[in-house]
Amino acid sequence: MLITRKKTVVFCILLVCIVFGWYAFKNLALWLVVADPLPPSIDAIFTFAGETNRLVYSKELFGKYPGTQWLISYPSKKIAIPLRKDGFDISRIQIVDSCKNTNSEAMFLVNWAVEKTRQSKKFSEQKPLQIGLVSTPFHMRRIRLEIKRKTKDKAIRYYFLPVPYNKCGFTQNDYKYWWKNYVLKPAIILELKKYVYYFFKYW
């Protein structure tokens, strides 16, 4: 009788683990997405290096928020040439060509934001410096992890503004069934590996 009970307990535990594991696997891509509603105003936009759709969406935001500053992580300052030709106010755009990866981008951004709040007395916990972060949807949770590990300054407020699904060539349904998409599947798996690496690296 005791052996039967033990087998039942073990079976129930395994069943719970399988169900939980399947649920976590199924929702992995959507879990990686962190998105805030568009705020009424922002002081700066930071575009992480990567696909062109990040720049395209950032252009939309730059036009939506007059007076904001736009920081672009890009390997060459030559990106400013087409922006100038498109009529963008280059005086409000800063090209950051020194970053090698997301970690260095996050470090640059945090240092820039902290310096910004020190230079201006108008930013405080009650009225923080507001920065919109633009990248691919599944990239956002790792960005949040890296920024939170680098600063707890309450005079800075970060908004996670991923490129909309349709502007990336996907739908929310593609993210829901990510393992069936031959383009999205390897990207999600790679992103999970990076997230786990940085999570334990800064533990």
DSSP readout, 11-57?
HHHHHHHHHHHHHHHHTHHHHH---PPPPS--SEEEEPSS-HHHHHH
Residue 166 placed within a domain: yes
Residue 89's pLDDT is 86
Could you tell me if residue 6 is inside a domain? no
**65-102 pLDDT per residue, tens:** 988 999 999 888 888 888 888 888 889 999 998 888 99
82 lies in some domain:
yes
Q: Would you say residue 151 lies in a domain?
A: yes
Q: What pLDDT is attached to residue 1?
A: 54
SS3 of 155, please? coil
Report how many domains make up the chain: 1
- Entry pTM: 0.87
Which residues, given as ranges, of the chain have pLDDT below 70? Answer: 1-26, 202-203
- Domain containing 57 equals 35-171
Is residue 124 assigned to a domain?
A: yes
Q: Looking at residue 77, what is its pLDDT?
A: 80
Residue 100 lies in a domain: yes
Indicate which CATH number applies to the domain containing 109.
3.40.50.620
Assess if residue 4 is contained within a domain. Answer: no
pLDDT of 44 reads 96
Q: Is residue 73 part of a domain?
A: yes
